[in-house]
Chains A and B, each alone.
Chain A
Amino acid sequence: DIQMTQSPSSLSASVGDRVAITCRASQSISSYLNWYQQKPGKAPKLLIYAASSVQSGVPSRFSGSGSGTDFTLIISSLQPEDFATYYCQQSYSDPQMYTFGQGTKLDIK
């Protein structure tokens, strides 16, 4: 099974900061990597698909990069509404057996 490891597990930052969250796969997954944002008590929301494609309606301050085993989600200038938990997810496994990273909780410094 493909394991996904995010770092850091938690992160404190201020409004206006540039933030990077990394996700590492236990084997190469090409660009089969997606990022989701989840706020307390709410369903996850898709931010980035295929490693670097920004979902429609997602602010341009969110970007994704990487391929193979190492991926990064960048928020260029944190806004108050960005404080949330972020998850990466791989969809490379065949047969399909998707896995999520453990999550990165981003809170206000």
Chain B
Amino acid sequence: QVQLVESGGGVVQPGRSLRLSCAASGFTFNNYGINWVRQAPGKGLEWVALISYDGSNKYYADSVKGRFTISRDNSKNTLYLEMNSLRAEDAAVYYCAKEEHYVNIAFMDVWGQGTTVTVSS
């Protein structure tokens, strides 16, 4: 079945780096854009980044621009999120979500289970 599985979360000190991964299965990975969405404890959903199907286009929320980098390896069916200069406010559950389209309208139809990032000294 179509599945996304995140990994790489953990406890990290402020200012340090962490790389998240999202392994995809059950669909043709290199046909789809993939998003990262996060949710701070007790808070709502926040879109973080999107990468196009071939990795040629990348988009970021203002809150992470210049610190986070989204990338993908289509040979490994894997998405990444490199997070640098981490701040306390980056602590959250991070989800990867597959992008689908209806005409030109994008939506996220498959989500992973999430991986938790804690930023603490």
Contacts and interface: CB of A to CB of B under 8 A. Distances in A.
The yes or no verdict on A and B being binding partners is yes
Nearest to A44: B111
Contact of A46 (B59, B61, B103, B109): B109
A100 B111 contact: no
Contact of B105 (A46, A49, A96): A49
A53 B102 contact: yes
A43 B112 contact: yes
B107 A99 contact: no
Interface in A30-85: 31-32, 34, 36, 38, 43-46, 49-50, 53, 55
B45 A44 contact: yes
A87 B45 contact: yes
Contacts of B37: 44
Interface residues of A, number: 26
Contacts, number: 66
Chain B interface mostly: strand
Secondary structure call for the A interface: loop
B102 A50 contact: yes
Contacts of B95: 43-44
A43 B111 contact: yes
A34 B113 contact: no
A97 B106 CA distance: 11
B65 to A, nearest CB: 10
A13 B44 CA distance: 21
B111 A55 contact: no
Given A44-B45, A87-B45, A99-B47, A34 B108 contact: yes
B107 A50 contact: yes
Contacts of B44: 87, 100-103
Interface of B: 35, 37, 44-47, 50, 59, 61-62, 95, 97, 100, 102-103, 105-109, 111-114
